[in-house]
Structure 1
Amino acid sequence: MKKEKKKVILEAGMAVMLFLLVVIGGRVCLKAADGSRLATGSQAEQSTKETKAQKQSEQDGNAAIQPKDGKSKKDSEEAETAANVQEGYPILGTSAVTAKELANYFKTANLPYPSEVLGKGGAEDIETFAQIYCEEAKAEGVRPEVAFVQTMKETAWLQYGGDAKIEQYNFAGIGTTGNGVQGDSFPDVRTGIRAQIQHLKAYATEEPLNQDCVDTRYQYVIKGSAPYVEWLGKQENPQGQGWATAEKYGDSIVEMIQNLPKP
């Protein structure tokens, strides 16, 4: 009986120990499993952060490549190239040149002003003649020195001698084509000057005239084909258009403008 009792106690003790071992072992496994799960979760979170950082880096890189104004690289390069193109002397625009300066410029040639003929047309002296140029040029937005100096070139400082005659009040050879063709005639000095300035504006811009058109050849000009004085010469004009066929025609006018007396 004593042996059987010991045996029962021993088996019970072993059962308790086995139970304890199972419980403790389960907790250890569970803890290990939880730790593994937590470790896996941390790795996933870290991976997510790295992915977001990589995407942000790529976006920042793209933003650095794309100009802030939204223009493509090609557009920016083309704009820079256009800005580097050397411009000439504009026909249009405001000018600080005065009628007195234009009159003084004429006087530097030491040639007589044809007051008898031009006086009949409304400009008895060079001061009045120059003032009309300033008024008519301002009305159409043309620089007065451009038109006035062109007249000095075309008429040999109002001495004429070419196909057109002084009585025509044609100050820039409008309509003259050589071989004795006299070109257009105008009723007075102001109308002749207005026609010349309107013809210049036709070359300089596509914008319409501000005054009634008196230039009889206005419709034949390709509008805006010569915005710069240098382009008035057909040989220097990119489109082959222009006022005259003589080489460096526009350049010679610019050189004369640069010789205007300074105030």
Structure 2
Amino acid sequence: MKWNNDVFKRYMEAGLAVLIVLTLGLAGAAGVLSPRAAESEQTEAAAGDDSTNASQENENKDSVTNPDMAEAQETIADGQYPIMGSSDITVQEMVDYFNASGEVYPAEELSEGGADSIETFCQMYYDEATAEGVRPEVAFAQTMKETGFLQYGGDASIEQFNFAGLGTTGNGVPGNSYPDVQTGIRAQIQHLKAYATSDSLNQECVDDRYEYVKKGSAPYVQWLGQQENPEGLGWATGDNYGYDIVGMIEEMM
């Protein structure tokens, strides 16, 4: 009887050992005994959520702090090009666009007004436009259209430093004259801003025709042409005037 009890006891111990081994194996496979792994997964998931939340917060912050940019990008995508807004254009791109035309920069004439090179000229456009919130490429492309890449030939002459036909009404009327290049550029940009928005000017007004513009009547470049403007207003009467400028902008950028 004693032998049988010893055998039975040994079998019981062996069976218990097997049961413990099986239990440990199953627990390990289920991850019960891997708290560090579970903790790691939870940490990674939390980090992912934080990253997503941070990204969403940044996007929301950009939309709140710069709603005009988001609206402008959406408008451009819909086919209308706003006159006002921030821009990715660089001075060098403006310089390259002029040089690609094959025309010679009139350094002799424009140096008398303070712009002895195309680089200086483009920098003036960039600075004056950004000061008023006007897109530099809009004003610069308009000048290239109005002056034939600074070659003139119309009613206004280069010595007037009038780069967009301000005050020219046809039949030989020469339009406005300005004391230097920068003033002529500023007047043009202020006139563009008058068409684009009812916001006040940031710099002293040098555009003596500013008061005659119906403010905000042409917020888009395409509407600078009177034939394409819903109110029949605009900068010029020529067919597709604003659309031509947009085409030049696309080539420039």
TM-score over 0.5 for the pair: yes
Q: When the two structures are superposed, what TM-score results if normalisation uses the length of structure 2? A: 0.69
Q: Which residue of 2 aligns with 1:101?
A: 93
Residue 233 of structure 1 pairs with residue 251 of structure 2: no
Q: Distance in 2 between matches of 1:100 and 1:185?
A: 28
Q: Which residue of 2 aligns with 1:42?
A: none
Q: Distance in 1 between matches of 2:79 and 2:251?
A: 20
AA matched with 2:131: A
Query: Over the residues paired in the alignment, what is the CA RMSD in angstroms?
Result: 1.3
Q: Distance in 2 between matches of 1:100 and 1:186?
A: 26
Q: Which residue of 1 aligns with 2:204?
A: 212
Q: Which has the larger radius of gyration?
A: 1
**Which runs of structure 2 are paired with 1:119-158 in the superposition (5 Å)?**
119-158=111-150
Q: Which residue of 1 aligns with 2:171?
A: 179
Residue 162 of structure 1 pairs with residue 138 of structure 2: no
SS at match of 2:125: helix
SS at match of 2:194: helix
Q: Which residue of 1 aligns with 2:215?
A: 223
Measured against aligned partners, the alpha-carbon deviations of 1:55-103 in whole angstroms (never above 9, x if no partner) come to: xxxxxxxxxxxxxxxxxxxxxxxxxxxx9x9451000001110111101
AA matched with 2:218: A
Q: Distance in 2 between matches of 1:153 and 1:86?
A: 24
Q: Which residue of 1 aligns with 2:18?
A: none
Q: Distance in 1 between matches of 2:79 and 2:240?
A: 16
**Which runs of structure 2 are paired with 1:7-26 in the superposition (5 Å)?**
none
Note the C-alpha offset of 1:121: 0.3
Aligned residue pairs total 178
Q: Distance in 2 between matches of 1:193 and 1:160?
A: 15
SS at match of 2:251: coil
Q: Distance in 2 between matches of 1:99 and 1:184?
A: 27
Q: Distance in 2 between matches of 1:110 and 1:162?
A: 20
Residue 251 of structure 1 pairs with residue 243 of structure 2: yes
Q: Distance in 2 between matches of 1:216 and 1:182?
A: 15
Percent of matched pairs sharing the same residue: 65
Measured against aligned partners, the alpha-carbon deviations of 1:106-147 in whole angstroms (never above 9, x if no partner) come to: 001111100001011000000000000000001000000000
Q: Cα gap change, 1:246/1:185 in structure 2, threshold over 3 Å: closer, same or farther?
A: same
Q: Which residue of 1 aligns with 2:19?
A: none
- Find runs of 4+ consecutive structure 1 residues off by over 2 angstroms: none
Residue 118 of structure 1 pairs with residue 110 of structure 2: yes
Q: Distance in 1 between matches of 2:186 and 2:192?
A: 10
Q: When the two structures are superposed, what TM-score results if normalisation uses the length of structure 1? A: 0.66
AA matched with 1:159: Q
Measured against aligned partners, the alpha-carbon deviations of 1:195-236 in whole angstroms (never above 9, x if no partner) come to: 000000000000000000000100000000000000000000
SS at match of 1:197: helix
Q: Distance in 1 between matches of 2:102 and 2:220?
A: 29
SS at match of 1:142: coil
* Unmatched tracts of structure 1, length 5 or more: 1-82
Note the C-alpha offset of 1:174: 0.2
AA matched with 1:142: V
